[in-house]
Amino acid sequence: MCYHVEVPNWSELEKLEAYAVRNDDWEEYYHHISGFTHHHLPVITSQNPKQIQPYAWGLIPAWAANKSKANEIRLNTLNAKSETAFELASFKNSIGKKRCLIAIKGFYEWMELNKAKYPYYIHMKDSKVFTLGGIYEDWVDNETGEVLQTCSILTTQANTLMAKIHNVKKRMPLIINEADREAWLSPDLSTEQIKQLMKPYDENKMEAYTISKLITSKTESSNQAKVKDKLEYPELALFE
């Protein structure tokens, strides 16, 4: 799954040259964002493919009846499985025409061993911003007229690297190759063409290492650069 990400500031985001219309919402560098806070993510939609926009993490389907129901649903829509997105009510109205790219610098996942969990930071070897495949929806609160722009990150089966790290569920976020970004945003793709883009990313382009448990601290903010500092665990060396 994918519930924790790193989002760079605008100077990094603008390196996605095709989507470089300036957006000052991304002045700050977010070293760690948890999906459970429903923080905004930098999103490039199929409807507006030349601009990065802030969308709240946790998709609310258009049919959600009220704010209470919307808040209940979004807790379960931080991720959408690529294998079932065409079938589930929360996602099937978005996957066909409302696909998006979500720009991040890295993400975090946990390995489980002997009932303990060990956090990893995962990023590209070239350290560049990369894009996740997502879906989006605009939800209107009929009582107030408020419009919430929301999104979900799609997931797929883990590649070799991620299967070792996310060793229980063996999932990973859907990473969209740079060469496939334009196609992913096209509203004209058939279901089969969309599914062909839903594949595990090349692990040879990725890098991962263990970090401290600051990321889950209840007393110190994890939104700081040192959250990504390497920390080795001797017990994992034995496992490897």
* Model confidence pLDDT, tens digit, residues 149-197: 999 999 999 999 999 999 999 999 999 999 999 999 999 999 999 999 9
Quick check: 226 pLDDT over 80? yes
The string of pLDDT tens digits covering residues 79-88 is: 999 999 999 9
Q: What is the mean pLDDT of residues 226-231?
A: 98
Report which of residues 132 and 1 the model is more confident about. 132
Residue 95: name the closest of 107, 84, 103 by CA: 84
pLDDT score of 20: 67
pLDDT at 240: 60
Helix ranges, 52-204 (H):
67-74, 92-95, 160-165, 181-185, 191-196
Q: In this predicted structure, what is the pLDDT of residue 239?
A: 62
Q: What is the pTM of this model?
A: 0.96
Helices in 105-202 by DSSP H: which ranges?
A: 160-165, 181-185, 191-196
Asked if 168 and 118 touch (Cβ cutoff 8 Å), the reply is no
Domain-wise residue ranges, the chain: 4-239
Tell me which residue of 42, 128, 156, 137 sits closest to 93, measured CA to CA.
Answer: 137
Q: Could you give the residue ranges of the DSSP H alpha helices within the chain?
A: 10-13, 67-74, 92-95, 160-165, 181-185, 191-196, 234-239
What's the mean per-residue pLDDT of the chain? 94
Instruction: Tell me which CATH code domain 4-239 carries.
Output: 3.90.1680.10
* CB-based contact 34:62 (threshold 8 Å): no
* Strand partners of residue 45: 100
**Strand, coil or helix: 73:** helix
> Which pLDDT belongs to residue 238?
67
Cα end-to-end distance, the chain, whole Å: 22
Which residues 6+ apart lie within 8 Å of 121 measured at CB? 6, 106, 107, 108, 208, 209, 211, 227, 228
